[in-house]
Amino acid sequence: MEVYFDNAATTKPSDEVIEVMIKALRETYGNPSSLHKKGVEVEREIKKARKVVAKALGSSEKEIIFTSGGTEANNLAIQGILKANKRNGNHIITSKIEHKSILSTFKQLEEEGYEVTYLDVDKRGFVSLQQLDKVVTEDTVLVSIMHVNNEVGSIQPLEAIGKLVKKKNPKTIIHIDAIQSFGKIKFSVKDLPIDSLSISGHKFHGPKGIGAIYIKKATKIKPLVVGGGQESELRAGTENVPGILGLAKAAQSIVEQQDEKIKTLARLKRNLVDLLEKEIEDIHITSEIHDDFAPHIINVSLKGIRSEIMLHSLEGDEIYVSSGSACSAKKKGYSHVLKAMGMKEDLIDSAIRISISHINTEDEIRYAVEKIKKHCDSLRKIIKR
């Protein structure tokens, strides 16, 4: 039995997404910028796709810009907004547990002269509203916070964060990395006090290499890539038509019967955690069964067993999990997220991330726990010798 439990890294594209993309490659292959029939036909399909994504996010279609993925979306939001709002200040804020696409961008901006505040998090993985209240000033031009943490699943209180920041400085622009939350947490951008938000197709059963950013109307932003003026002159380059149509289909599908899909995720997570705690000794569950944790991410530490060893042991049983973020898993060093949460080194060293999808099953959970227990027992016997 193959069990894919690395859905926070990427998801399997759905059959309907694949069909839409194949059709686009075979039939809708014109250049959207061309004035002839084939170009107009493609332009019309992109408009439909933009409308679908806008509806899924709760925005207007004019507020949606397609990108090459989540990393570009985050970079466009942060760097594009700062380029357009230089007069508003020189201070920017993020947290210590952000995705590398955010942290690396902030590090670069810090080297370029921006004053950066990296917010601390508590042992559960939540930013301190008290600290945020203290550090927002008249010079704060941008705050970037992720909605759901990609390693532990903590859900940041976006409404409270947005209201606090806007009260301290109404001019401060708020960007949200929603790459791990879209499809797993119900939200609408029109109900949140934010200015931009990013998503990535391959995180919700869409294709890789395509993402989107919501830019609230009247938010000043400049492009990072210039050229033919595509995407409202914010992202030049011939559009990735199969990717855009695949993203739209995935977004449409993920929000259909979303309540049921989220309930399925919550049930699977609860049953998985219950079984792990029942069957395996010396286990530490970092991702809580709680409303302020996402239903698809379970970070657990199997004490005494290095995460890489467990990962490859499970791989032999065709069970696929990760030792953290896929974007930093190949780099040496401890998880910056778990370290920021104050976790002890032995727990960080033995942490694995299990991330599920609504298409996973109870049988897969039972099989995975059975194999994790088997490997824990055998590996710990070897370690004790």
Residue 325 has pLDDT above 60, yes or no: no
Q: Name the helix (H) or strand (E) containing 188.
A: none
Q: CA–CA separation, 11 vs 73, rounded Å? A: 19
Residue 167 has pLDDT above 70, yes or no: yes
pLDDT of residue 329: 47
Q: CA–CA separation, 202 vs 205, rounded Å? A: 6
pLDDT of residue 332: 55
Residue 274 has pLDDT above 90, yes or no: yes
pLDDT of residue 334: 80
Taking phi over 0 as left and psi of -120 to 50 as alpha, with beta for the rest, 282 belongs to left
Residue 37 has pLDDT above 60, yes or no: yes
CATH number of 3-11+257-384: 3.90.1150.10
- Average pLDDT score, the chain: 95
Nearest to 148 by CA among 64, 70, 66, 245: 70
- Split at pLDDT 50, 70, 90, the class of 327 is low
Yes or no: domain 15-255 corresponds to CATH 3.40.640.10:
yes
Nearest to 350 by CA among 328, 380, 330: 380
User: How do residues 96-152 score in pLDDT, each as one tens digit?
Assistant: 999 999 999 999 999 999 999 999 999 999 999 999 999 999 999 999 999 999 999
pLDDT above 90 covers a percentage of the chain that reads: 93
User: How do residues 40-86 score in pLDDT, each as one tens digit?
Assistant: 999 999 999 999 999 999 999 999 999 999 999 999 999 999 999 99
Q: Is 327 a catalytic residue?
A: yes
Of these residues, 185, 327, 347, 379, which one is catalytic?
Answer: 327
For the chain, the domains span 3-11+257-384, 15-255
